[in-house]
Amino acid sequence: MPADRLSLIFSALADPTRRAILARLSEGEATVNELAEPFDISLPAISRHLKVLENAGLISRSRNAQWRSSKLEAGPLREATEWMEKYKRFWDASFIRLDAHLRKIQNDPEDPGAKQ
């Protein structure tokens, strides 16, 4: 049971339809029907995707007459990015080269540059 925020965020992002909805919302607010238009799935399905996004805090919703407008809220994306950035040093090539260099100059036996 993913009660924690990050799990909610990541699992909301794990669905391609939901990511497409977010992409659409990055161009501006939209109603449920507008959001549903590009997809080949039913309106209730879209409605539930929106609920998932809302529960994750990725969108907020407002009512205007019978239309419910969705708006992108990027705070959770920032949260998720911050979590990932703890790992940035593992994909930063310059870090890796620096690391290899430091190991080399101190003759570290685990020097990954010493691969056979």
Partner DNA sequence: TGCATATTTAACACATCAGTTAATTAGCTG
Partner DNA sequence: CAGCTAATTAACTGATGTGTTAAATATGCA
Is 58 an interacting residue with respect to DNA (CB under 7 A)?
Answer: no
> Residue 61, interface with DNA (CB under 7 A)?
yes
**Residue 45, SS3?**
helix
Q: How far is the CB of 57 from DNA (least distance, A)?
A: 15
Q: How many residues bind a copy of itself (CB under 8 A)?
A: 30
Q: Establish if 55 lies at the interface with a copy of itself (CB under 8 A).
A: no
φ, ψ of residue 61 in degrees (nearest 5): -135, 145
CA–CA dist 17, 46 (Å, integer): 9
Query: Is 66 one of the binding residues for DNA (CB under 7 A)?
Result: yes
Rule CB under 7 A: is residue 50 a binding residue for DNA? yes
Dihedral in degrees, nearest 10, Cα atoms 78, 79, 81, 86? 140
